[in-house]
Structure 1
Amino acid sequence: MKIGVLTYHRSHNYGALLQALALRYKLTEMGHEVCFIDYWPKYHQDMYSLFSMRYVLHCSKINVVKYILNTILYWNRRKKRIDEFEQFIGEYIVPYCAEYSDKNEYDIIVYGSDQIWRKQPGLSNHFNPVYFADNILHAKKHMSYAASMGMLKLDIEDYSFLRMKMKNFFKISVREKSLKEILETIGVNAPIVLDPTLLLTKTDWDELFPIKRLYDERYILYYRLSRSFDEKIVADFAKRKGCRLLILDGVVRMTKNKTIFAANPLQFLSLIKYADFVFSSSYHGMVFSLIFNKEFYACFPVNEERRAKSLLDIVNLSNRLLFQKDEIAYDIEKIDYKNVNRRIEELRAFSLDFLQLSM
């Protein structure tokens, strides 16, 4: 079958890129011809550009001043990060892209994973119909795989939109319990499936990419996408464990301490794989900690933990979810990865069945 994947395949975000690659890898392994549909609207491009006039024109004066100052102060750092991601995208994504066009014909278009169904700030906080199979693309069938919506603040109009657009899909699956429950209120039964990154085993990731160790010394990794947890607490944890603290920033930002700000996705995988312990305020930082069987804490602000909690509940690791004012248990019992891996394997089998039966 000829399959097109519509997702966030060009984001300068580790999880977005790696989930896209993982889904294409699995579908190709099933024997299909698979490409990324190269839809990347201007508002997405602006998010990862060195400077965006569109952002300046549509933001408040305070945010514009902050944006311009940050652009000037961190120009070189941001350029280095952009260059690292663009090089990776050029090597692993672009060769498998097809034009977003009404000239191409597909047997199936798969929408997802990642937060493709979130409201878009670049569209005045509205949904983008393109990701709901309301677009110029031609396919015999449209389906979603592990679609996510991020923050869930919906009004009556949003529910009306979803009720109408869900009719475009012949099969629907989601990544989180919270979104499943929302769709149930409009009469849509959508099973929960694994994020595409979890469709691959640790061995798969090791074989897919050369994941080399970057640091010889023992270290604790703090993947800081949002500043949702006190860095001093993490630093004290690392000191007690006799390890160096490495902070991987998900964005270029002002920081008092030296951080890693321009790691490419392969280095991201390495930093997690070889860490003694991982703190992550990112969903995919948590996911890859599970894949590589690492001891970890997932650190999220209250009301932003739904995605992480959904997966942690499934694998019986809800005690690994930390909020900003929570104390760290230094003597916490080690994760029983024998049971965790067994549960993930069950979910992987279910998720792959969903994909195979949908083809």
Structure 2
Amino acid sequence: MKIGILTFYRVANFGANLQALSTYSYLCKHGHEVVFLEYVSFQTVWLRLVSYYKNFIKPKRSYLQLAEHFKFIDNNMKEQIPHLLTADRVRNAIKKHGIDAVIIGSDAVVQNWPLFSTLKLGKRRPYWIEPLPSERRYPNPFWGYGFSDIIPTAMMSVSSQNSKYQKFSRYMLKRMGKSLKRLKYISVRDAWTKDMMLAAGPELSIDITPDPVFALNQNVGEKIPLEEDIRNRFVLPDKYVLIGMRTQILSIPFLEALNDAMRIEGKECVAFPIDGAMAFSHPFKHSISIPLSPLDWYALIKYSAGYVGSNMHPIVSSLANGVPCYSLDNWGSTNFWGKKENNASSKVFDILKQYGLENNWAQIENNVCNVTVNEIVKRLKEYPIEQVITISKVRYAKYEKMMQDIIESLFGR
């Protein structure tokens, strides 16, 4: 069968590339033909052009990393239908290319941000409205809009990126519920998204399922570089802990103290790029340079003695491999004043909670993370590796059942 995948995949993001590859590889190994549908709005196309231009005029290394992401996608995901700018174009592409079914996800594809929630408090101006592309507003093709009435469609481990569903109007929730009821199968990545879906359709059957990167070893194992190869190419210390941040969350003195504390434990800190860039300064002797392949990025985590830093997929990659990790969490909803709300909306916290690792987490507030060096070192040292490995095996079994349920729901077998 020919299956269309609708997700964020052609982006400069290691995790997004890897979750797409994991799904692609699973389906191909089970005898399906796979084609990626790149739904992207006019606004996003324009923003990308601006971003690409900036990369051209930045240091060459930044542009080379962007090119590395695209090379990885084109080398590994052979069939793509790019630049589908509207729901009508997605629908027409499905018909034209003879696609038998569509899987939406995984990723933060079911977002909806009403106008009030885009109102932000600014420092230079009293307030401003954050412009959002149609990919982040209902309805759009990520909800099956425009095609789920003509072709079997499933949602796989999708996320709402902590959209404030409690503020949605009854009319909006009713419309969302109608869209969701057209789908053959729905699973979500976190409890917050499940609650949002149930607010739209209380009778819906929705399960919380793993991100596809949890199954990368099983789906793409033959492509993941070996440890000896990684160590030789990157000239790594014997035991290294990766430090990755989107911005300068931790100060240079803090990182110096952290490195000293890690050395006492027989480990060495190594600076690690996030979202395709090295966006922070550091005092470490070792640093992973870019351009960097997404599979090398994953392997570096897999063979490490620990990960400390931002984003979800480094945490997922750590958990999947029993690697000690500590999250400096940039996710979670904020109020009008830009302050984080203590409502368990963070997708990273949700994942760590499933492992009983709530203490291996600290929230970032206004680009500051109030955590101590001793706390990070303690949590890495006391990390329950065997417990994590056991839970990851259970999560992989859940992933396998999810994929089987999706195929059965789409093709009745």
TM-score, structure 1 normalization: 0.82
Matches within 5 A, 1:1-359: 1-46=1-46, 48-49=48-49, 51=51, 74-93=58-77, 95-98=78-81, 100=84, 101=89, 102=92, 103-119=96-112, 121-123=131-133, 126-127=137-138, 129-135=140-146, 139-154=150-165, 155-157=167-169, 158-186=172-200, 187=202, 188-200=204-216, 202-211=217-226, 212-213=229-230, 214-218=234-238, 219-225=240-246, 227-228=248-249, 232-233=254-255, 234-251=258-275, 252=277, 255-257=280-282, 260-301=289-330, 303=332, 306-323=346-363, 324-326=369-371, 327-330=375-378, 331-336=381-386, 337-359=388-410
State how far apart, in whole Å, the 2-side matches of 1:118 and 1:136 are.
Answer: 18
Give yes or no for contact 1:299–1:321 (8 Å, CA) kept in 2.
Answer: yes
- Count residues with an aligned counterpart: 341
State how far apart, in whole Å, the 1-side matches of 2:330 and 2:103 are.
Answer: 31
Q: Which amino acid aligns with 1:193?
A: T
State how far apart, in whole Å, the 1-side matches of 2:270 and 2:162 are.
Answer: 29
- Superposition deviation, residue 227 in structure 1: 4.8
State how far apart, in whole Å, the 2-side matches of 1:185 and 1:227 are.
Answer: 38
User: What SS class does the counterpart of residue 102 from structure 2 fall into?
Assistant: strand
State how far apart, in whole Å, the 1-side matches of 2:263 and 2:50 are.
Answer: 36
Give yes or no for contact 1:134–1:168 (8 Å, CA) kept in 2.
Answer: no
Q: Which amino acid aligns with 1:250?
A: I
Give yes or no for contact 1:105–1:137 (8 Å, CA) kept in 2.
Answer: no
State how far apart, in whole Å, the 2-side matches of 1:295 and 1:280 are.
Answer: 12
State how far apart, in whole Å, the 2-side matches of 1:263 and 1:14 are.
Answer: 9
Unmatched tracts of structure 1, length 5 or more: 54-67
Kindly tell me: are residues 136 and 12 of structure 1, through their superposed partners in 2, closer, same or farther at Cα, counting changes over 3 Å? Answer: same
State how far apart, in whole Å, the 2-side matches of 1:225 and 1:242 are.
Answer: 26
Unmatched tracts of structure 2, length 5 or more: 114-130, 334-344, 364-368
State how far apart, in whole Å, the 1-side matches of 2:354 and 2:105 are.
Answer: 21
Give yes or no for contact 1:146–1:194 (8 Å, CA) kept in 2.
Answer: yes
Cα deviation per residue 1:310-351 (whole Å; 9 max; x = unaligned)? 222223333322332233242424422442233323423432
Kindly tell me: are residues 277 and 144 of structure 1, through their superposed partners in 2, closer, same or farther at Cα, counting changes over 3 Å? Answer: same
Q: Which amino acid aligns with 1:316?
A: G
- Superposition deviation, residue 226 in structure 1: 5.1
Show the counterpart of 1:62.
none
State how far apart, in whole Å, the 2-side matches of 1:52 and 1:338 are.
Answer: 40
Q: Which amino acid aligns with 2:370?
A: K
**RMSD between aligned residues:** 3.0
User: What SS class does the counterpart of residue 308 from structure 2 fall into?
Assistant: strand
State how far apart, in whole Å, the 1-side matches of 2:73 and 2:349 are.
Answer: 30
Q: Which amino acid aligns with 2:152?
A: K
Give yes or no for contact 1:228–1:300 (8 Å, CA) kept in 2.
Answer: no
Kindly tell me: are residues 354 and 229 of structure 1, through their superposed partners in 2, closer, same or farther at Cα, counting changes over 3 Å? Answer: farther
User: What SS class does the counterpart of residue 176 from structure 2 fall into?
Assistant: helix
- Superposition deviation, residue 110 in structure 1: 0.6
Greater Cα shift, 13-22 or 242-251? 242-251
Kindly tell me: are residues 263 and 161 of structure 1, through their superposed partners in 2, closer, same or farther at Cα, counting changes over 3 Å? Answer: farther
TM-score, structure 2 normalization: 0.72
State how far apart, in whole Å, the 1-side matches of 2:207 and 2:309 are.
Answer: 27
The percent of aligned pairs where both chains have the same amino acid is 21
